[in-house]
Structure 1
């Protein structure tokens, strides 16, 4: 078979969570920076592809952009990187299974969150603003995209964050399920494409697009934090509860295999 069963993926994910929780600070810092940068480069690709398309094309523009965005998560999961939204799924399941401590989980999430933000802002400033890839002809798309996220009220952004990381968590889960390179790419691609096309909010993507708009002279850092906090919390619920906890309860806590009754030979009838 070219893939692992959901029960096997549960065990694989727990092992991944243990590895992440026990990683050194240097490893998490470097891979966290790369994770934030890769997601931002995927979003930059989205802006460059969809930014100057005709408005008359409507949601087809969003769909085309959504088709290219997953390259960021593919680079992270197959090339190497730590992404907080993926870790929100993989690390808590190891804690649910009592393989790591709560402090270990918080340490991982904190380091990866901060370094993801640094990586995202690096791309936003140097590639987006300094090189000008999110400005000029693409500034209207950058400001409109950032503005749509900022203008969501707290609870709307929170629930949108849940939907996003339900998809991202499943993308990571399917990547772990596949045994070959092509299968992993396909497993990542479709769920990520779906959350982007729907318009759900991803905290690391927002750490790129909102600062890109701020560096261009629009919005404020207060707007940034008022968006990032509810989206972060929603992403945490989406990954830790809707993916890892649900699958942990289904395949570890409540999983029972029915034993087949032993076959007994009936005594031969005498003639």
Structure 2
């Protein structure tokens, strides 16, 4: 019976190789995927604002309200994962890990993040303005809840938003990485759902989620605590920097633990050499076939069976 998930080594190397593919992809396709991601993630943000309109929960059970919002928000991230749209926060992880392994030029992350960031912003603002604000789907209580939510996020200083950004993207990148381990749709959904629910329930800051939540709060006309400039300084810049550090907190250990060349699935093994490798503590004997031979999952399974017998 085949495994229902790939190994951590395989998933790590898939991330390492992903940035090169993204870097060489047409700019138009990357930009459209980024717009899609901003649009889809905003659906989760909309649900959290709708839930915040209940005054009883907000007053008497704020912790329960946060958990309910956390359980609702991941719908957007799940759609992004399954439709393979592009979030700048997950691209942070992919380009950091690929740059560490020299799969892309050092400047590639600036180019890639710029495309995805702008696309995410366009998608988020389109959803906030066209589908939520101008469509009039929010009741007065929902609009008030959206305004209060935006003011709550902006009521803290730059450092706190930066630190919340770190906590956020550690969990977001874990969600996306765990989803990449799974082979079936249900497992991908479950693997992604819980880390996202945790970051939302905790109140961490995600730069793309804030692209919807804060502008939508401003569009209600009920926000008086801050303006666009303060939003850019604190919510965009602070959370972006924090999200970048959070991505590094995950991928740097991944490279150290599972990104060694002995795990590289694309590594060419010389049939005349004595090159060996290990995967999950299973010793891989040198290949005796041609130079193009690389170790596949079937090779590993054969080695496991042979060494267990």
TM-score, normalization by structure 2: 0.80
Judge conservation of contact 1:121–1:208 (CA < 8 Å) in 2. Answer: yes
Q: For 2:141, what is the secondary structure of its paired residue?
A: helix
CA deviation string 1:28-66 (max 9, x = no partner) = 110110111111111102222342252312211111111
Please state how far the C-alpha of 1:15 moved relative to its aligned partner: 2.3
- Deviation of 1:127 (Å): 2.3
Give the counterpart of 2:208 among 204, 215, 224: 204
Q: Label 1:259 to 1:52 Cα distance change in 2 as closer, same or farther (>3 A).
A: closer
Aligned mate of 2:82, from 75, 78, 81: 78
Among candidates 231, 242, 245, match of residue 237 of structure 1 = 245
2:204 is the alignment partner of 1:223: no
1:182 matched to which residue of 2? 186
RMSD of equivalent CA atoms: 2.0
Shift of 1:4: 1.6
SS in 2 for 1:2: coil
Per the TM alignment, residue 177 of structure 1 is displaced from its structure 2 partner at its CA by 0.5
Which moved further from structure 2: 89-98 or 24-33? 89-98
Structure 1 residues 163, 151: CA separation in 2 closer, same or farther (over 3 Å shift)? Answer: same
2:60 corresponds, among 56, 61, 67, to 56
Match of 1:123 in 2: 127
Query: Relative contact order (C-alpha < 8 Å, sep 6+): which is higher?
Result: 1
The corresponding residue for 1:267 is none
Match of 1:47 in 2: 49
In structure 1, what is the Cα distance between the partners aligned to 2:171 and 2:138? 26
What's the offset of the Cα at 1:122? Answer: 1.0
Instruction: Work out the CA distance in 2 between the residues paired with 1:33 and 1:74.
Output: 16
CA contact (8 A) 2:87 2:120 kept: yes
Deviating more after overlay: 108-117 vs 213-222 = 213-222
Distance in 2, matches of 1:221 and 1:251, equals 43
Question: Structure 1 length as normaliser, TM-score?
Answer: 0.90
CA apart distance, 1:200? 0.4
Residue in 2 that maps onto 1:142: 146
* SS at 2:259 equivalent: helix
Aligned match for 1:11, one of 13, 16, 25: 13
Which whole-Å CA distance do the structure 1 matches of 2:231 and 2:138 have between them?
17
Task: Answer yes or no: is 1:67 the counterpart of 2:71.
Answer: yes
Residues in 2 aligned to 1:29 and 1:192: alpha-carbon distance in whole angstroms: 24
**Structure 1 unaligned spans of 5+:** 263-271
Question: Is 1:101 the counterpart of 2:109 in the alignment?
Answer: no
1:89 is matched with 93
Q: Which moved more, 1:222-231 or 1:170-179?
A: 222-231
- Structure with higher helix content: 1
Contact 1:50 1:64 in 2 (8 A): no
Deviation sequence 1:214-258 (CA, Å, 0-9, x none)? 11222311121122101000001111x111122112212497846
Retained in 1: the 8 A contact 2:12–2:255? yes
- CA distance in 1: counterparts of 2:156 and 2:168, whole angstroms: 15
**Cα contact 1:47–1:134 (8 A) shared by 2:** no
